[in-house]
Structure 1
Amino acid sequence: MSRFERPVVVQVSRHAAERVVFDVNDAATILLRDLTRETKKRKAAMDACLRVLRGESHPPAARRAFVAAALEAKILRSD
């Protein structure tokens, strides 16, 4: 199961609606499609999501990494 205990709310652009991220798949999609700047935090979040999807890690680790990347990209609305 790759669901987050608590969803994360992001807004990928000023004109986009807020999006509620419920699980690792949603987070990975946003990292791939919307966060195009290559940063260490984005890469760490991508790696964390992949580890969960492979069954090598747990969702809380991916959630923490995603929140850090979202904060850095200034798209985090609520954690």
Structure 2
Amino acid sequence: MTGLSRFERPIVVQVSRHRKERVVFDVNDAAAILLRDLPRQTEKRKAAMDACLRVLRGECHPPSARRAFVAAALEAKILRSD
């Protein structure tokens, strides 16, 4: 499944100043970060989680989840490079 949920380009995030940057390669990585590291429920986080779940269920393609994750990461101020 990883091949089907992989992002075309990885995204780099840093969830806190005290932790190393993380490279997000696919929908599974993005969903794990949304669940564990972005506890604040916002519309962008919810949209990103929904998009990740839709990709994992085969209902849409990774680029839509990637865009939603980037928006949530920007909002949470954890995006380092897109």
Q: Which amino acid aligns with 1:70?
A: A
Paired residues, number: 79
3-state SS of paired residue (1:26): helix
Work out whether 1:49 is the aligned partner of 2:52.
Answer: yes
TM-score (normalised: structure 1): 1.00
Q: How much has 1:32 moved relative to structure 2?
A: 0.1
Query: 1:59-74 maps to which residues of 2 (within 5 A)?
Result: 59-74=62-77
Q: Which amino acid aligns with 1:18?
A: E
3-state SS of paired residue (2:24): strand
Q: Flag the structure with higher helix content.
A: 2
Q: Residue 77 of structure 1 is aligned with which of 52, 61, 80?
A: 80
Q: Which amino acid aligns with 2:40?
A: R
Which 4+ stretches in 1 moved above 6 angstroms? Answer: none
- Structure 2 alignment gaps of length 5 or more: none
Q: How far apart in 2 are the matches of 1:35 and 1:2? A: 21
Percent of aligned pairs sharing the same letter: 87
TM-score (normalised: structure 2): 0.96
Q: How much has 1:43 moved relative to structure 2?
A: 0.0
Q: How far apart in 2 are the matches of 1:17 and 1:58? A: 29
RMSD: 0.2
Q: How far apart in 2 are the matches of 1:22 and 1:49? A: 13
